[in-house]
Structure 1
Amino acid sequence: MKLGLVTPRYPPTHAGGGEISARLLVEEIHNRGIADVTVYSFDSNEGKDEVGGIPVFRLGNIPQYPYTLPNEIVFRKLREEGITPDLLHAYNMHLHPAVGRLSEHLNVPAVATLNAYPLINWTDVGVTPSLKRRVYESTFLRFERPRLKRQMRQIDLFLPLSSAVERVYRDHGFADSDFEVVPNMLDESLDVPEKTHGDKDRTRLLYVGYLRDSKGVCHLIDAMEHLPETFELTIVGGGPEEDFLQNRVLNSDAASRIGLAGEVPYDRVERAYADADVFVHPGVWPEPFGRTILEAMQAGLPVVATNIGGPAETVPQRELLCEPGNPTSLAKAVKRAAAQADEIGAQNREFVREHYHPDVVVPQFEAAYKGVLDPTR
Structure 2
Amino acid sequence: MDGRVVVIDDSRSLREYTLEVLDRAGFQVFEASNGQTGLESVKKNEPDVVLLDIIMPGMSGMDVLKQLRKDKVLVSILLFTAQSSVSRRVEGLKAGADDYIVKPFQDEELIARVGSAARRTALEKNLVKLVDARTRDFVKKERQAVFGRMVQGIIHNINNPLMAVSGFAEIITIKLLKFIKFSEGRIDEDGTALLKDIMKNMEKVSSAADMTKSIVNALLDKSRDESIEYKREIDLNELIKREVEFLKADRGLKHTIKIDLDLNPSIMKISGIYTDFSQVTANLMKNAVDAMRNSPKKELGISTKHDSENIYILVKDTGEGVSPANLKRIFDPFFTTKACRDKKKNEETGGTGLGLYTSKLLLKSYHADISAKSYGTGSLFTISIPKTNVFTQRG
Q: Radius of gyration: which is bigger?
A: 2
TM-score, normalised on structure 1? 0.21
Structure (1/2) with the larger helix percentage: 2
Using CA pairs below 8 Å that are at least 6 residues apart, which structure has the higher relative contact order?
1
TM-score, normalised on structure 2? 0.20
